[in-house]
A and B are shown apart, each in its own frame.
Chain A
Amino acid sequence: MDAAIVVNHLSAAYRKNEVLSEISFKVMPGTLTCIVGPNGAGKSTLIKTMLELHPRTTGEVSFLGQSYRRAKTKIGYVPQRGSVDWDFPTNALDVVLMGLYGRIGWLKRPRKSHRDQAMEALRVMGMEQYADRQISQLSGGQQQRVFLARALVQDAEIYFLDEPLAGVDAATERIIMDTLQQLKMKGRTVMVVHHDLQTVEDYFDHVLLLNRTVIAHGATADTFTDHQLHRTYGGALRWMREKV
């Protein structure tokens, strides 16, 4: 089977400092991979660089054998919740509809069928009763579910999620993980930036350990070991593991 994502010698810098160096890995379709690493390891930057939202200095990325530009419509992206202004005058349904804008195309307005699709995605996330709510009146977990619903309507082959479980309630965490599992069952490829080491083994079948470069990558059982974690986190690890 061909890999869904291939990254070769990817490097990126922020101002003068190199934040990612010589990243190379392959991800197979139908997998659920988490990216873990200490703060400042470049997890969000990795996703942004792959999606050409952040300039790269070297390297290549391909999705389903195509360049990003060609594969764009097959990729869904869920940015960090903090990246938008939740006071924006719009409601939950409207935000989900935004996921369809790429498909609706220029100069056209969303139609009833698009609205139904968005409503269905909200229903999957258990959010249909909040469709007309202004988004700042939703809880953090509900906001995250709206973001995920927006990604779902894109009906993409590959999904990138940046810290979807940060600061959400237990119910939301369960719904989000169920949804991601279902995407995986349908053969979609999902990569998630994740910060909670305790749940990695339960939630993800693959792990990419990152600290400015790839420390280790592979099936969770082989990769998520004390030895590799130590290499990723260094001295900070003892403290993190003690919390477990």
Chain B
Amino acid sequence: MDTRFFTTWIEGIAKAVAENREHLTALDAAIGDADHGANLDRGFTAVREALAAAPPDSPGKALTLTGTTLIRKVGGASGPLYGTAFRQMGSVLGSAPDVTPSDLATALEAAVAGVRKLGGATEGDKTLLDALAPAAGALRRAVQNGTKTEDALDAALTAAREGARATIPLQARKGRASYLGERSIGHEDPGAASTVLILAALRDAAGG
């Protein structure tokens, strides 16, 4: 996976976020403050511009620029959290021109660790971690089993989807939804939903 693969991935995220802006905002209105779609759309629009203005020459640099731009432009909790996730991935991949599926699994694991440390959440708190952590785990297992890249990314996406769906019956313990107490039960976490979009774009970037 080269730089082009990663910029395709990020372009795909920007497109998916724009298309799903209303959906993410509706999920957020139910248990939060109705800005998740608008914030991520603003952030990834800025990421697109940043990548066009200074085309990165390695996958790591593409991801670091994405993370830094999200931190600078999004605000809220999702800006620092997603920003940190991408920066952690960028930092793990360094300036290597090519990335193996195993490197990508390591990068996603670093993203999970970064989000967990910054936000203080664990799985089951009804946050984006509930989709991201299972995806990283599934990718690692698939890579260890020698699964080909497309199928490994499929497995990661499926795990993220299942994780996001599993947030519906959970009571939120972190973030703004936690203020609702039991009333947060019955709604999908918007952060988990946007993580699914990110992993779907990753799967699409691999083609096939």
Q: Are both chains from one complex?
A: no
